[in-house]
């Protein structure tokens, strides 16, 4: 901000204010005098305001915040748009939509709709629709682009607002105050400085004056972006280091698991009695499989008993007497009744007594 001089401001007509009949008494402390019924702005107050605003913008951008540039006046549109695009910040140069800050979720939904329409057009879905439907969707896209083009990349509320003529942008200033967002404003002698946080008195009707003031404010934004670029680089390196450390921990954990699995495998093999690196004993007979097939060569010897088939009938002949013996034992089974013997004994005793 060292390039701010009173001579530069004086050459670009920043000192001209409104007619004395339209002034706001609250701007008295920023007015140097009056000439031909026109107020003359105190450029020293303008320099002080620019220095304060530049330092504030640098700090806000250095912390990763966004600066929303607002100017819908005809004399400020082009200057606001060019400055915002040069600093890669969001801007509003057409109509301030009510609720842009207080109802930011709805605004984001409309931006999602704009992205959806562009995707339809890129994929060829829009060309497959009827002509009337295509015209309706293209008109919707045109309207969204007109009002929301500058804030497409604004994913969250901005860190601060830079407003040209807060009297014309009173809705934006009111929403920022409600959301407790700082407001830095370039205001003329007909504005209320109490509604903004940092007042920069100056001519907000001349294009040269507005462009000069915005260029000086953009210097603070550029310096803040340099600081933020360094911070981003450090964060990226820290993230890479954290990722590498995490990968190293995963590799160590994998190696630990591998060692544990190997140790458990050796314990199981020792418990089973199988030496490490040798095949289990159950697989040993597979190597002797040809020996098991050896009896197949002696198959004719196994057939020899077939010639002695009559000898095989001898056991059947011996089995017949055994069957007859069993039958005789079965016939003698009724003799087990001892009651009749007892009766016969009693009769014999009676005969002997007689």
> CA neighbours within 13 Å on the CB side: how many for 278?
12
Domain ranges of the chain: 1-97+160-224, 102-156
Mean model confidence pLDDT for the chain: 80
Does this model's pTM top 0.85?
no
How many angstroms from the chain centroid is the CA of residue 145? 28
3-state secondary structure the chain: CCCCCHHHHHHCCCCEEEEHHHCCHHHHHHEEEEECCEEEECHHHHHHHHHHHHHHHHHHHHCCCCEEEECCCCCCHHHHHHHHHHHCCCEECCCCCCCCCCCHHHHHHHHHHHHHHHHHHHHCCHHHCCHHHHHHHHHHHHHHHHHHHHHCCCCCCCCEEEEECCCCCHHHHHHHHHCCCCEEEEECCCCCHHHCCEEEECCCCCHHHHHHHHHHHHHHHHHHHHHHHHHHHHHHHHHHHHHHHHHHHHHHHHHHHHHHHHHHHHHHHHHHCCCCCCCCHHHHHHHHHHHHCHHHHHHHHHHHHHHHHHHHHHHHHHHHHHHHHHHHHHHCHHHHCCHHHHHHHHHHHHHHHC
Q: Work out the pLDDT band at 136, boundaries 50, 70, 90.
A: very high
Determine whether domain 1-97+160-224 maps to CATH 3.40.50.10490.
Answer: yes
The model's pLDDT over 7-50, given as tens digits with 9 standing for 90+, comes to: 888 888 898 888 888 888 999 999 988 888 889 999 999 999 99
Cβ-count burial 32-51 (b if 16+ within 10 Å, e if not): eeeeeeebebbbebbbbbbb
The model's pLDDT over 298-316, given as tens digits with 9 standing for 90+, comes to: 444 444 444 344 444 444 4
Maximum C-alpha span of the chain: 186
User: Is there a shared CATH topology between the 1-97+160-224 domain and the 102-156 domain?
Assistant: no
Residue 110 CB neighbour total at 10 angstroms = 15
Residue 185 CB neighbour total at 10 angstroms = 30
Structure tokens at 168: 């014309």
d(CA 213, CA 200): 9
d(CA 294, CA 123): 77
Least confident segment among 62-66, 222-226, 256-260, 334-338: 334-338
d(CA 148, CA 138): 15
Backbone φ and ψ of 123, nearest 5°: -85, -10
d(CA 17, CA 14): 8
The model's pLDDT over 324-353, given as tens digits with 9 standing for 90+, comes to: 555 555 555 444 444 444 444 444 444 444
> CA neighbours within 13 Å on the CB side: how many for 225?
12
The model's pLDDT over 24-33, given as tens digits with 9 standing for 90+, comes to: 899 999 998 8
User: Is the predicted pLDDT of residue 153 greater than 90, yes or no?
Assistant: no
Class of domain 102-156: mainly alpha
The total number of residues written for the chain in this structure: 354
Average pLDDT over residues 80-102: 92
């Amino acid at each position: 901000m060292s390039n701010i001089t009173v001579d530069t401001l004086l050459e670009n007509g920043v000192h001209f204010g409104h007619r004395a009949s339209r002034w706001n008494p609250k701007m008295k402390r920023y007015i140097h005098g009056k000439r031909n019924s026109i107020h003359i702005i105190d450029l020293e107050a303008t320099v002080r305001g620019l220095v304060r605003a530049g330092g504030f913008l640098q700090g806000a951008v250095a912390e990763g915040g966004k600066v929303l540039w607002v100017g819908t006046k005809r004399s400020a549109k082009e200057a606001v748009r060019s400055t915002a695009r040069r600093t890669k910040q969001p801007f509003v140069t057409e109509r301030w939509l009510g609720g842009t800050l207080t109802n930011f979720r709805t605004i984001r939904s409309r931006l999602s709709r704009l992205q959806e329409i562009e995707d339809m057009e890129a994929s060829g879905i829009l060309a497959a629709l009827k002509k009337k439907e295509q015209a309706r969707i293209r008109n919707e896209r045109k309207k969204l682009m007109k009002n929301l083009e500058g804030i497409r990349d604004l994913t969250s509320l901005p860190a601060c607002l830079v407003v040209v003529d807060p009297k014309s942008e009173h809705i934006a200033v009111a929403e920022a105050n409600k959301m407790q967002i700082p407001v830095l404003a370039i205001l003329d002698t007909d504005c209320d400085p109490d509604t903004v946080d940092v007042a920069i008195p100056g001519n907000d009707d001349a294009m040269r004056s507005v462009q000069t003031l915005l260029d000086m404010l953009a210097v603070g934004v550029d310096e803040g972006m340099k600081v933020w670029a360094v911070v981003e680089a450090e964060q990226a390196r820290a993230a890479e280091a954290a990722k590498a450390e995490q990968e190293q921990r995963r590799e160590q954990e994998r190696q630990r698991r591998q060692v544990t699995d190997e140790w458990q495998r050796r314990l199981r093999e020792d418990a089973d009695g199988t030496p490490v690196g040798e095949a289990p004993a159950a697989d040993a007979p597979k190597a002797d499989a040809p020996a098991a097939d050896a009896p197949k060569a002696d198959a004719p010897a196994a057939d020899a008993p077939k010639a002695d088939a009559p000898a095989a009938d001898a056991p059947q002949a011996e089995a017949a007497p055994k069957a007859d013996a069993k039958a005789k034992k079965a016939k003698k089974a009724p003799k087990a009744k001892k009651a009749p013997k007892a009766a016969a004994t009693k009769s014999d005793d009676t005969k002997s007594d007689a």
